[in-house]
Amino acid sequence: MAELEAPVTPEAFAASVATPQHRTQAAAAVLNGKIYVIGGQRHNTGPLDSTDIFDPSSQGWSKGPRLRCARQGLAAATLGDQIYVTGGNDGKRYVRSSEVLVPRGGWVNGPDLAVCREFHASVVLDNRLYVLGGLETGNTYRSVQVLIKEVQDWTQVAPMLEARHSLAAAVVGNKILIAGGQSHMTILKSMEVYDPAWGAWSCGPSMSQPRNSPAAATLGNCVYVMGGWGSSDSMSSTEVYDLTSGRRSDGPKLTASRQESQAVELGGCIFLMNGKDEGSMPLNSMEVLEGRERRLMQALGRS
C-alpha cells in the first residue's frame, strides 16, 4: 500500500517578531545564523549608524556595533566570515566608502568604491562581492564592481544592460538576477541575469508590473521579488522567477504593503523586514515565508 503523503500547508507570508526600530533604506545580511539589519533612516531623522541583530533560535533582537559612518541607501552582503556594507548617503553627501564587520569585533574601514553610489544592490557569488547599479547626483549607473576578498581591490565586470537604481538582486544557482528599480524617470519591470562563466548579462522575463525599491531573496531555484513601489503606492504583491524553467509567476501576498524593505534567506525561510508603508512611513514589522522543504518537515512532525 502506498504511503500517504503528508499534507503541506500553502505557501504564505506570516507576521513575525517586530524589529526594534522603524527603518527604511536600510540593508540586511546573514552572519553565523543571525540576521543583521544595518543603517537606513527613520522618518525625517537622517541616516542611522545602528545595527540590530535577530536570532531566529531565540526569536529575540540585540544591539550590534555601530557603523563608523551613518548611512542610508546602503547595501550589505556577507563575504566569507565578514559583512561588507557599501556606499549610501550620510545625510550630506553620497559616499563611496565601505565598512567591514570583522568577527568578534566592530566595523572597520574597507576599500572605497570607484564611485559614490546610493540605492545600489550587492550580492556574493563564488567568493566575490558584486555591487550593482545605483545613483549619484542624478547619474544612474549600469556599472558593476567586484571585490575579491583576498585582493581587497575593486574591479569592473560587464555592465548591466540597463542603468538602474533602487533595484533588487539575488543569487540563484551560479547566476545573479536583478529585478526592477528605476532608470532615470522610468520604473522598470525588467529582469536581467548575469552568468559569470560567460561574463555577460542577458534579459530575464519581465515582471507583471514595474517595481521601484522591491526586495529579493532566493529559496531553492526560485528568486522571490517582493513589494516595491508601483505607479502610485507601496505594493503587497510578489513575483517568483524559477531558474529551472526560466519562467515568472505570481507569488504569495505580503502581510503588509512595503517598499525599501530588506530580505534575506535563512534556514529555508525568507525574512522580510522594515521599509515604508502605503503612507510612506517607516515600518518596524517583519514577516516570514517558509520554503516547501521547511513546510514539509513540519507536516511530517519534524522540527
Q: What pLDDT, in 10s, does the model give residues 140-177?
A: 999 999 999 888 899 999 999 999 999 999 999 999 99
Q: Which residue has the higher pLDDT, 180 or 3?
A: 180
132 close to 125: Cβ distance less than 8 angstroms: no
- Residues facing 54 on adjacent strands: 35, 61
- Taking only the tens place, the pLDDT of each residue in 42-88 is 987 899 999 999 999 999 999 999 999 999 999 999 999 999 999 99
Q: For 205-243, what is each residue's pLDDT tens digit? A: 999 999 999 999 999 899 999 999 997 789 999 999 998
Euclidean distance between CA atoms 191 and 126, whole angstroms: 21
Over range 17-22, report the average pLDDT.
95
Domains in the chain, CATH or no CATH each: 13-299 (2.120.10.80)
CA distance 296 to 282: 34
Say yes or no to pLDDT of 138 above 90.
Answer: no
Please report where in the chains the cell 574597507 appears, as a residue.
Answer: 110
Cβ proximity of 181 and 154 under 8 Å: no
- Give the rounded percent of residues in the chain with a pLDDT score beyond 90: 81
**Mean of pLDDT over the chain:** 92
Bridge partners, residue 258, by sequence? 235
Q: Which residue has the higher pLDDT, 83 or 138?
A: 83
Give CA 228 to chain center in angstroms: 12
Q: For residue 7, what is its C-alpha cell?
A: 499534507
The residue to which cell 551613518 is assigned: 70
Report residue 294: phi and psi, to 5°.
-65, -45
10: confidence class by pLDDT, cuts 50, 70, 90:
low
- Give whole-number Cα distances, 67 to 38, 98, 106, 201, in Å: 8, 10, 8, 33
Question: Which residue type sits at 222?
Answer: C
The answer to whether 123 and 179 have CB atoms below 8 angstroms apart is: no
Give the integer Cα–Cα distance in Å for 61 and 57: 11
pTM of structure:
0.93
